[in-house]
Every structure is written in structure tokens, then in C-alpha cells.
Amino acid sequence: MNTPPRRAKRSFASAAPLLLLASASVASAAQTLSIGDMHSSYNRNIWWMSVAVIVMAILIFIGVSYALFYTVNKFREDKHTAEPDQFHGNNRLEQLLIGVPVIIVTIITILAARTMAIVNPTPADALHVNVTGAQFWWAFEYPDTPVTGGTVNVTNGNELVIPAGRQVAVTVTAKDVIHAFWAPNLGGQRDAIPGSKKTFQIDTDQPGVYQGNCTVLCGASHANMRFKVVALPKAQYDAFIAGAQAYKAPAPANSSEQNGYNIFMQGKASAAAAPCASCHRIQGTPAAGAVGPDLSYFGSRNTLGAGIWEGKAREAHIQPWIKNCPSVKPGCLMPVYEKLSDTDLADLEAYLLSLKLPESAAYWGKVPVR
């Protein structure tokens, strides 16, 4: 029997570390999340519709307030001592009180329908991206961009790369519980529901790095289920796609990376460490797991843990992340590797950091953080 998607229950036991991590991440991100970012056509259309509705609301408030105070003042008891006229009602006034709200609602409906007709249809030239939410990370797949010589498409985890100045048709779904995808500076919000796919558009005409979040409570690390959107000029985006299509993980360059590669692919029985490749994919290697994020060009990324750590903080947390992920990200489903030696952890880190796109295809550091 099919059961409806479940919303994860709130975990009060993990509230303290959750809030601590969330506050630290927000402080370090230094980004502005705004639905008023006019570089997005979606935000512009919603803004102008909102302005029209707000102006109408102000005029209605002024009109109703004037009528109220005028009536109260004109018919004050101390100005009229005679018995008031008795009558059944005022047909003209009643018609006015019905007609004006109908006209107002009709105008708002027309404005809303017009805006929906503009922002909802998917343009023929839109870039298509499949977005899948899972506890607690995001997968971004480019369905029209197959890997060279392979049967899979270009995929990235927790970092979405898009071209600036072009509509991006995002098709959203989820693996486990209900999530929600929202990058406020780029467009609207959509629930990611298991078994359901919803397509809508995001865009920006300003190259930059933008923040996105899951906006539906989905478990202990809901607040740490973030993502970055990197909007590149067309030439740089095309270079990224070309590099990602042709990418093949480099062979280990030294004994440290070789040991890290061996542990990743085969695990280490003496340390009760399962192969990382059983859950993660690395393009150009036998690793083809689909349970966790794609790690093909992990070394080219700037974030770790779905956006908890960025830049230098990311590198400082790679080994603690591998060793005991749930201790640094509540609810993380990644296995614990506490029995791996410090040398093995360092070798795994060295191998992961070696997985880099060509410099021409790298997407970090080329546009400002917005």
C-alpha cells in the first residue's frame, strides 16, 4: 500500500548543536538573502504585482478611514438631539458595498493571473536542471548534458552552477521526506516531495554566488541543508559544462593519494570501514554510488556538509567529517569511520582534494559573493 510522504519529526535532543551550527554558518556566509533582488525576472514580476496590490490597499485604507471618521463626526450624539429617522436600509449604499469589493478582488485576480502567466511557463530555451533533496543534502543533475563517452549526465552536489542571463527550469523532487528548494535572490520556493516532480524557473542577470536553503522542517539538520548557486557569465558557464562533461578523475599522484583511493574504492576491513564508492560517485572511476552526493570534482568545491563550512573552514573539517559525520552534523546518515588511523584519514582527504576540474572549468573565485 502506498503511503504519503512523511515530514520528519522534530528532534528536540539535537536542538542545541543544530542552533549552534546554524548560527555559526549564518555568521560566516555574509550573504544577503532577499526576495527583493531585482536581478531576477521572477522577483521583478512579483514585486510589481505586489506594488500594485499594496497601493490599492493603501487607497482602500485611506478611503475607509475617511468614511469612518466623517460618519462618526457628522452624526455625533452631541450634534443631533432629535430622534433619528427610521428606514429599512439604503439600497444604493448596499450595492456600493458589494460592488466595490468585487471590483477590487477582480483587479487583484487579474494582476495575479497575469503574473502567473508570465513566470510559470517554461521558456523553450531554458536550461533544465533536476534537483533532488535528501536528508540533508542536494543533488543537481543536468539532464541535457551527458558525460562524454558515458551513460550518465553531468551532476554536482550542493553547488548549482547556472548561466547568468538565462532562465533555468528547475525540476524538484525528494528521496525521503518533504523538503523545499528556495534561493530567494533567484526566484520562488517549491516543495520537494517524494514521488512528485515540480518544474519552475529561477534566474539572475547578475553573475555571483547566491545562497539557497531547505525551507521545510525535514529533520535534525534541516537548518544545515543548504546549497550555493553560482551564476557565471555565459563563456565561463560553457567552459564549466565542457570541463564537467570531459572530466575524468586524475590518477593518484603519490602514495598518500593512492592509499586514499584504495580506501575510497575498497574500504578497509581491518578498520571496519566500508567502501566510500558504495554510496558516492566519482566520474572516470569505478565509483558509481548514488546514495550520497556526487564527489567527482570535490576538490573544486568551496563548501562541505551541504554548506555548513566554506573556504578554509571546509578544509579544516574534512577529516572530522569523514571520521564521525553525525557528531558534526546531527542526523547525518553517513557511516562512522572512527577506527581509521589519522594517516588513513589524511590520505582520504588528500585523494578527495585531488579531484579537481581543469582551471578553465573551475567555477569558484570567478564571480563575487552576493
Inform me whether the pLDDT recorded for 74 exceeds 90: no
Q: What is the mean pLDDT of residues 259-269?
A: 95
In the structure, what pLDDT confidence band is assigned to residue 30 with cuts at 50, 70 and 90? low
Inform me whether the pLDDT recorded for 2 exceeds 70: no
What does the pLDDT read at residue 27? 39
Q: What is the mean pLDDT of residues 90-99?
A: 88
Measure the CA–CA gap between 28 and 23, rounded to whole angstroms.
9
What does the pLDDT read at residue 269? 92
Measure the CA–CA gap between 307 and 228, rounded to whole angstroms.
7
- Asked, as a colleague might, if the bond just before 136 is cis with ω within 30 of 0, I would say yes
In the structure, what pLDDT confidence band is assigned to residue 310 with cuts at 50, 70 and 90? very high
> For residue range 203-261, what is the model confidence (pLDDT) as tens digits?
999 999 999 999 999 999 999 999 999 999 999 999 999 999 999 999 999 999 999 99
Which ranges of the chain would DSSP assign to H, the alpha helix?
A: 15-29, 41-74, 91-119, 234-246, 255-266, 312-323, 325-328, 342-353
Inform me whether the pLDDT recorded for 299 exceeds 70: yes
In the structure, what pLDDT confidence band is assigned to residue 138 with cuts at 50, 70 and 90? very high
What does the pLDDT read at residue 352? 96
Q: Cα separations (Å) of 38 from 54, 112, 150, 211? A: 18, 19, 39, 16
> For residue range 5-22, what is the model confidence (pLDDT) as tens digits?
544 444 333 333 333 333
Residue with the three cell numbers 577506527: 339
Model confidence, pTM:
0.83
